[in-house]
Each structure stands twice: as structure tokens, then as C-alpha cells.
């Protein structure tokens, strides 16, 4: 599946960041010409993980996230991400793996969006593959 031009997935964490902030992030992205696909990135009986990846992430050139799972999914798919950390987990993931940029307020997000999503560094393929291999090895250790 090819990403749709000027489409962004907004992965929200309503327990860490309030709805008003998510609405403002979405409005800012729209004002910059993006189509926004908003997800809580939570599986339900109606929408499983593959559906979330297909219907949101694979359609997007960029991910804006307030939750760790949004950044992890973007990174694992090689999609640049911009993340507003609501807790230390997201900051620590970014420190360990990179692949995106952090912002702490709407002004910083606006600057990053003005710079152009094409300017954002995609995670290196080798790093993404290593990340996947580490995840698979961790799962194998559990079985």
C-alpha cells in the first residue's frame, strides 16, 4: 500500500493528553494541508491490529503521536513520526531508537510541520529490521 499524499495518522492517548490538545493538534495539521486519520491505536473486536496498520499507518506519510504505541508502530513501519510525550516511556523510546522528533507544544509542532514532513528523517531500514529482529527474539524467549 502506498501512502496517500499529505496524510497523517494522529495516534492519541486520551489518558495522558486531553481531548482539547488532540483537537488542537488535529486542527494544526489540517491547517497545514494534511488529511488527518485519528486513532486511539487500541484493538477492538471490530478493528484489530492489522486493520489499524492498514487503515491508518499505511495510508500516511507521517505519524503525529501522543502515545508510545504510535511512535513504535511508525518506527517499525519506517514512517517518520512527531511525538508529544505524555510520559517518560515515549521519551525513552525516542532516546533509544530515534526515527522521529519530539515536541512539547503546538508552536514546536507547527515549526516541525513547516519544515516539511519530507525533510524528516525516516528510520534507517537496517535499524528498523534490527528493531523487528529484537522484538521477534523477545517473543521467542517467551515461548
What is the reported pTM? 0.87
For residue 61, the model assigns a pLDDT of: 92
Residue whose C-alpha is closest to residue 54's, from 115, 130, 3: 3
Q: Is residue 1 part of a domain?
A: no
**In the structure, what pLDDT confidence band is assigned to residue 31 with cuts at 50, 70 and 90?**
very high
Q: Is residue 2 part of a domain?
A: no
112 domain residue, yes or no: yes
Question: If you average pLDDT over residues 39-67, what whole number do you get?
Answer: 93
Number of structural domains the chain divides into: 1
Beta carbons within 10 angstroms of residue 74's beta carbon: 26
- pLDDT band at residue 82 using 50, 70 and 90 as cut-offs: very high
Pairing between strand 35-39 and 62-65?
A: unpaired
The alpha-helical segments, DSSP class H, found in 1-143 are: 19-31, 49-55, 68-77, 88-97, 106-115, 125-142
What was the pLDDT predicted at 120? 65
Instruction: State mean pLDDT over 85-90.
Output: 90
Check whether 134 has a pLDDT greater than 80: no
CATH code at position 93 = 3.40.50.2000
Distance (Å) of CA 6 to CA 14, 25, 42, 114: 24, 15, 24, 13
Tell me, yes or no, whether 54 lies in a domain: yes
Q: What is the mean pLDDT of residues 87-108?
A: 92
Tell me, yes or no, whether 117 lies in a domain. yes
Q: How many residues does the chain have?
A: 143
| pLDDT greater than 90 at residue 137 | no
Host domain of residue 85: 7-142
Amino acid at each position: 500500500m502506498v501512502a496517500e499524499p499529505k496524510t497523517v495518522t494522529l495516534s492519541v492517548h486520551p489518558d495522558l493528553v486531553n481531548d482539547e490538545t488532540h483537537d488542537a493538534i488535529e486542527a494544526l495539521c489540517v491547517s497545514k494541508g494534511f488529511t488527518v486519520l485519528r486513532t486511539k491505536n487500541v484493538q477492538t473486536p471490530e478493528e484489530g491490529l492489522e486493520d489499524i496498520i492498514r487503515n491508518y499507518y499505511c495510508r500516511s506519510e507521517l505519524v503525529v503521536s501522543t502515545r508510545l504505541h504510535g511512535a513504535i508502530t511508525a518506527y517499525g513501519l519506517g514512517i517518520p513520526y512527531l511525538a508529544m510525550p505524555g510520559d517518560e516511556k515515549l521519551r525513552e523510546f525516542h532516546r533509544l531508537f530515534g526515527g522521529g522528533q519530539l515536541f512539547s507544544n503546538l508552536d514546536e509542532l507547527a515549526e516541525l510541520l513547516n519544515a516539511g514532513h519530507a525533510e524528516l528523517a525516516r528510520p534507517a531500514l537496517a535499524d528498523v529490521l534490527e528493531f523487528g529482529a529484537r522484538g521477534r527474539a523477545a517473543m521467542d524467549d517467551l515461548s
